[in-house]
Structure 1
């Protein structure tokens, strides 16, 4: 059992950890920054986008895409650091993103804005195809959060936080989805950001229960990493793929003037036994 290590402190609402190259990339929603940090804790800001939510993914060619939620755009970071439009999503209100090995991007959105007190409506997942076309590919997800694609490009898994389940879909060659099913019921678990490992298990971060949990298909709990604050998302990476990275902060509520305690955002790493697989 690895020991939880702290790589960075003093940030805001942290989300969207992604291991790429030899560093962990993640978003600070409070400051509108995408940052990178190495295993020694040395970090830098790589992009600034005033967006809440602010989630990222990597294209197969190594370029980053960034969800600019208020603008309804999917941005692409070019090699010189400039940001250009990768796709027009058509309206604001987007949340998480994952890109599969074919270059298909899955972007989800809630059906309502809880921060504005809007009446509940279920959310959906949209596909941004490699050629830029945008289409809805799944609906009736109560509150879609983290997403992951298995290493064979065959399955998309979506965290439905409100229903406390992980939902799975079969992915066709063209990126469309079918075969919807509940992959795991999580009991009291509230899944946010997720990732998949090489044994087909899923790690999910949990804000209200202050933990990160590894579960098998159908929901058996395989391991739990306890935190002292809400866990917003997790990713596997490192040299062997066996570092579990978790981003957390002290949660104050969706309708609070500041959703997390200022400066409480931290980045953690812990060694685990099974390496990551698939995306992110």
Structure 2
């Protein structure tokens, strides 16, 4: 395991894009990039608590502003607000996944009664799933047909079928009764889901039905989020923190980004 970066407050939403690992520092009000050699850049986002990230086909970065309940767009020069969801969601926003045509799926993290909102390429929002227990990390399969979401307080991964219009249907369990609340997740080419198991202090690879095939123990550190990337897609990037509850970490710089090689490469979105 290699430590790529530390000295930030609360890392979330890692994404591999164009040779860089991108992630949010939610409490530090910034988005960072890190190279495989550990060189870091920073996009300040004062007044926002960024979380979920995703890239549209034109290369623009979408950023979830959690407490403002907005989605931002960064085109490489300017940050603009493309959607204000304040009037249509029951709780602060969290993670996000963007599909191959630029539709963004954003979770509103109510402990019960959480929703997923789809933001179409024209930036119009639609609620596409309801009654979720703290919807968190999300992935989309390579064929664009299935979305998997981590329901943290329910300790399960839930799958939906994605319709041609981006609607979600056929809700079903992908894995239930997990070892801990799942946070950020990543999908590999064999259909395995890497999940940050916060209170279990582990990253686990889970296959359909709930069997855990691999575990990475983080000791006393809290597993927050992960993604697959790197030149071969076999680098698992892991964000950890000193505590599972962000409010206890305000003003600290105790989060860390580690990387480890795994056997099965990345697949799907992100």
Partner of 2:7: 10
Distance 1:260 1:162 in 2: 23
* TM-score computed with the length of structure 1 as normaliser: 0.90
Partner of 1:116: none
Q: Structure 1 stretches (4+) deviating beyond 3 angstroms?
A: none
Contact 1:95–1:109 (8 Å) recurs in 2 = yes
Distance 1:150 1:75, change over 3 A: same
Q: 1:62-121: per-residue Cα shift (whole Å, max 9, x none)?
A: 110011233332111013x2111222324472111110112110001123xxxxxxxx54
Q: 1:28-63: per-residue Cα shift (whole Å, max 9, x none)?
A: 112101000001000010342433352211111111
Indicate yes or no: 2:37 matched with 1:40: yes
Distance 2:80 2:215 in 1: 40
Distance 2:151 2:50 in 1: 16
Indicate yes or no: 2:248 matched with 1:249: no
Q: How many residue pairs end up in the alignment?
A: 266
Match of 2:55 among 55, 58, 69: 58
Q: 1:207-227: per-residue Cα shift (whole Å, max 9, x none)?
A: 111110001011111111111
Distance 1:232 1:169 in 2: 23
Q: What is the correspondence of 1:199-278 to structure 2 with a 5 Å cutoff?
A: 199-228=190-219, 229-251=221-243, 253=245, 257-259=247-249, 262-278=252-268
Indicate yes or no: 2:74 matched with 1:82: no
Distance 2:248 2:86 in 1: 28
Contact 2:25–2:31 (8 Å) recurs in 1 = yes
Distance 1:121 1:150 in 2: 26
Contact 1:32–1:54 (8 Å) recurs in 2 = no
1:258 CA displacement: 2.2
Distance 1:222 1:109 in 2: 30
Distance 2:131 2:238 in 1: 28
Match of 1:190 among 157, 181, 188: 181
Contact 1:250–1:260 (8 Å) recurs in 2 = no
Q: Pairwise CA RMSD of aligned residues? A: 1.6
Unaligned runs of 5+ in 1: 112-119
